Structure 1
Amino acid sequence: MSRTHLITGAGSGIGLALARALRERGDTLVLPVRSQERVEELRGEFAEPGLVVLDLARTDSLPEAMRQAHLPGRIDTLVHAAGVVELARLGDSAPEAIRSQVDVNLVAPALLTRHCLPALRRTRGSVVFVNSTAGSVANAAWSAYAASKAGLRALADSLRAEEAEGGIRVTTVFPSRTATRMQARVHEQEGRDYDPDRFMSAESVAATILHVLDLPEDVTIPEVTLRSR
């Protein structure tokens, strides 16, 4: 039976790999994108009815935007794969860069999950947070990003405890460095050459998420950490 999946960050990287895999299975996709222009760019690959305009960076207006988007009344899976990173030591970080990372990586997932909870409760669905190993270990120059991801882990833990009785399963996936457009940007910020062959692929991470989504109803995986071989 076809299931309905809401996936953020489906324009590239892990989110795109997961959306493609689920589309191939014939499932229904709801893909938030930041603008109507982005809808036009993605319409050739994904059906337009599933593309909805939600700018996750604009958290002040996000609750109203979600109401206007008329998201489905039943959702089997909510996957948070969107994220931004801007490396800098805290003393050198621009205030807007700190705020942007916290908004997109933490505040937006919290608001979107809150909005979708009634739809998830109807299906006893799943929420997957694509985190980062930076959410467990924070290194120099990663302060804002790591803090946002550590907060995301706490959000997932609390949500899991709150919704377990109603059957909602919550999983946090902690990939280490993955060959994505974001990773290329990270290497640029670090001043290092980027070789995607050194890292796990977005498709490999997506395959792990698919495994989580396809678990039997009587089992759950609260957390999984992925590292390149």
Structure 2
Amino acid sequence: MDNLDNRPHVLITGGTRGIGRAVAEELAPTHHLLIGGRDRDLAAAVAASFPSAEPFVADLTSGDDVAAAAGRIDRLDALVHSAGITAMGTVEELSRQTWREILEVNVVAVADLTSRLLPALRRARGQVVLINSGSGFFTNPGNSVYSASKFALRAFADTLREEERQHGVRVTSIHPGKVDTDMQRQIVGHQGGDYRADAYLTPESVARAVVFALGATPEAQVESLNVRPMAT
């Protein structure tokens, strides 16, 4: 196995399943992985399946958890934000608590963790990749809170990108269309439709977009990527 010091270090939030797990699979041959998750045993088990990895355990909705976990990181070459949640419902139906929960995970936690890790990312002249969504550009009935969070995440990324140019930190937004994940099953279940996995992107296709962004040469940054299913 390679010496860990010879591999770029990347933290992947939501790294135990879905898109985050697929990103880990793609990067495992060349990177030391920090597998983000709330479940300590699951994060440890996933990390153990890779040649060079360790768990990063934190409840991203807890400022204390994030501060403690981030405080243990001294070196970081890339941060991939893949953790996210959704809730379906009309504006009339959604509660204040639901709005808070979605924005807390999808926006506030992202900003908090990124802020705490900027010193390490600046030292490495590293990269931040945010898994956004097509919902970061477009809205649909019944999807207000998720779209609002993704619009906000896009604004966060655009602002961070300009702020960090002087420090050499590059920032990329990835905007997938519908992806074959547990979240997509949740959405289709809420809508009462038939689930057809072949109508959606695979997590691996999104992961390869992340790899492409991370592979940009040092003088360039991939600012935004849209990835859409071929099926309509």
TM-score after normalising by structure 1: 0.92
Alignment of 1:49-198 (within 5 A): 50-56=54-60, 58=61, 61-62=62-63, 64-69=64-69, 70-198=71-199
- State whether residues 8 and 79 of structure 1, in contact with CA within 8 Å, keep that contact through their aligned partners in structure 2: yes
Matched residue type, 1:112: L
Secondary structure, in 3 states, of the residue corresponding to 1:91? coil
Secondary structure, in 3 states, of the residue corresponding to 2:219? coil
- State whether residues 178 and 202 of structure 1, in contact with CA within 8 Å, keep that contact through their aligned partners in structure 2: yes
Matched residue type, 1:17: A
Give the match for residue 13 of structure 2.
8
Q: Is 1:36 matched up with 2:40?
A: yes
Shift in Å, 1:51: 0.7
Shift in Å, 1:49: 6.6
Residue deviations 1:54-74 (CA, integer Å, cap 9, x gap): 112x2xx32x22332243212
CA distance in 2, matches of 1:44, 1:74: 20
Secondary structure, in 3 states, of the residue corresponding to 1:178? coil
- State whether residues 39 and 48 of structure 1, in contact with CA within 8 Å, keep that contact through their aligned partners in structure 2: no
Residue deviations 1:57-104 (CA, integer Å, cap 9, x gap): x2xx32x22332243212110010111011100110132222111111
- State whether residues 40 and 55 of structure 2, in contact with CA within 8 Å, keep that contact through their aligned partners in structure 1: no
Secondary structure, in 3 states, of the residue corresponding to 2:208? helix
Secondary structure, in 3 states, of the residue corresponding to 1:138? coil
CA distance in 2, matches of 1:96, 1:11: 26
Structure 1 runs, 4 residues or longer, greater than 3 Å off:
37-44, 46-49
Residue deviations 1:15-57 (CA, integer Å, cap 9, x gap): 100011111x14111122113343355355358971122112x
CA distance in 2, matches of 1:92, 1:18: 35
CA RMSD across the alignment: 1.7
1:226/1:48 Cα in 2 relative to 1: closer, same or farther (>3 Å)? closer
TM-score after normalising by structure 2: 0.91
1:11/1:172 Cα in 2 relative to 1: closer, same or farther (>3 Å)? same
Consecutive unaligned residues of structure 2, counting only runs of 5 or more, are 1-5
- State whether residues 136 and 147 of structure 2, in contact with CA within 8 Å, keep that contact through their aligned partners in structure 1: yes
1:168/1:153 Cα in 2 relative to 1: closer, same or farther (>3 Å)? same
CA distance in 1, matches of 2:174, 2:56: 25
Percentage identity across aligned positions? Answer: 35
CA distance in 1, matches of 2:30, 2:162: 32
Consecutive unaligned residues of structure 1, counting only runs of 5 or more, are none
- State whether residues 131 and 149 of structure 1, in contact with CA within 8 Å, keep that contact through their aligned partners in structure 2: yes
